[in-house]
Structure 1
Amino acid sequence: MPTRSHFDHELELMNIDLIKMGSMIEEAIAKSIKALEAGSKNLALEVIEDDSKVDDLEKAIERRCMRLLLRQQPVAKDLRAISTALKMITDIERIGDQAADIADLSLRFQNGLDVRVAEHIPQMARIAVEMVRDSIESFVKNDLDLARATMKRDDDADDLFNIVKNELIESIITSKENADEIIDCMMIAKYLERIGDHAVNICEWVVFYSTGLHKKTQIL
């Protein structure tokens, strides 16, 4: 196989692995919230156990990237593609960790999430999943418009987090007997907010990949 064709093939395999890793964490977020809502211990444990698969795939992508850097000596945009992937997998792996953390907290909710206490958490989770999916898709398709749109969605996630925070503060004042559960809900909401932040980080690296720039002020 000619050198350039081999390089392009390896890049394509890298993209496929990134898509797979992204799908895994999307599923992990959705499952962790489902476990929370249903009070499903088995589903929560499944998310926690599967986190090691995300870690393994991160290492595999990292090894592929390092082989490309050392053997192919890429230049210009090819080099940015590889360095972007290396940065992205760090954020993707952390998202997986946070989904596992949510699943771990869900084990404390034996009867599932009380929507009267935190009715907006499932909505936060939906936004988080969409942001993660779109951030990775923006890299694979080199879609700057999608990256920018995803970054702007973080404002919606932050606004919703503030609503959840205020609702939970009000709940802990009026329902002190549920204080532990309310604090756990606050932690879950914070993890979801952080997932949105990681999706933004991924989008910023997509912009770097496409333009060579990595500052919000230069792209918004």
Structure 2
Amino acid sequence: MDARPGFHQSLTLLQKELLEMGESVKELILTSVNSLATLDEKAAQQVINNDDQIDDYLTRIDELSLRLIALQQPMASDLRIISTALKIAIDLERIADHAVDIAKITIRFAGEELVKPLETIPQMANIAIEMLQESLLSYTERDVHRAAALAEKDDRVDKMYSTVMTELMGMMNSDYHRNRQLTHLLLVAHFLERVADHTTNIGEGVIYMVTGKRKDLNV
């Protein structure tokens, strides 16, 4: 018989909120990059509008986590689960902020044409989204091996970021408007590189939650 049914129900609710938040954030990143590739201002604005929902998730997860700690007197292992959920929510909120940053760049490009079709940047986004999905699965399955595997994908994103930087900087010339767009595309690549970093943070949190030991995946 469960000695603490209320506690475990609250933990289940906490995980549900976190996974819903993760799915919403994943959609924001995907939509933001697609909006940039197609210069779809309407889709970009929708990303910006939906950011408030992510903030609401973070608020609910924060409040639920604090209630669990204050009222349920969790054991050390339970406390790691709660604190990890809160840290993951913070990383998810920051990923959402980067989606908004990308969407704002799409809106800045209104009336322009891209200086070149996007190739590596959508590939970076696909890997980052895959990493986010894997990080959330590692959390729900308490799978430290899946979490640790994020490091290899993060390395791939870092290499692609270096490729994009070299390519776009090599395209710059004396044309101010061209350089302005290339600079913003560099920022997009940087935001996606940061998204990958935040997903490795989630993986590190999962490893700590399960083992009680800290492991740096972003080296």
Q: TM-score, normalised by structure 1?
A: 0.93
> What is the correspondence of 1:57-206 to structure 2 with a 5 Å cutoff?
57-110=57-110, 114=114, 116=116, 118-173=118-173, 178-206=178-206
**CA separation in 1, counterparts of 2:177 and 2:67?**
56
Contact 1:36 1:113 survives alignment (8 Å): no
The amino acid across from 1:157 in the alignment is: V
**CA separation in 1, counterparts of 2:2 and 2:210?**
26
**CA separation in 2, counterparts of 1:55 and 1:180?**
31
Question: Which runs of 5 or more residues in structure 2 are unaligned?
Answer: none
Contact 2:132 2:199 survives alignment (8 Å): yes
Q: CA deviation at 1:216?
A: 2.1
**CA separation in 2, counterparts of 1:182 and 1:135?**
31
Q: TM-score, normalised by structure 2?
A: 0.93
Q: CA deviation at 1:10?
A: 1.1
The amino acid across from 1:200 in the alignment is: T
Worse overlay, 135-144 or 175-184 = 175-184
The amino acid across from 1:171 in the alignment is: M
Worse overlay, 165-174 or 16-25 = 165-174
The amino acid across from 1:32 in the alignment is: S
The amino acid across from 1:154 in the alignment is: D
Contact 1:38 1:113 survives alignment (8 Å): no
Contact 2:115 2:178 survives alignment (8 Å): no
Q: CA deviation at 1:176?
A: 6.0
**Structure 1 residue aligned with 2:23:** 23
The amino acid across from 1:107 in the alignment is: I
How many positions carry a matched residue from both structures?
218
**Structure 1 residue aligned with 2:208:** 208
**Structure 2 residue aligned with 1:4:** 4
The amino acid across from 1:211 in the alignment is: T
The amino acid across from 1:28 in the alignment is: L
Q: CA deviation at 1:24?
A: 0.6
Contact 1:120 1:160 survives alignment (8 Å): yes
Q: CA deviation at 1:123?
A: 0.4
Question: Which runs of 5 or more residues in structure 1 are unaligned?
Answer: none
RMSD of aligned C-alpha atoms? 2.0
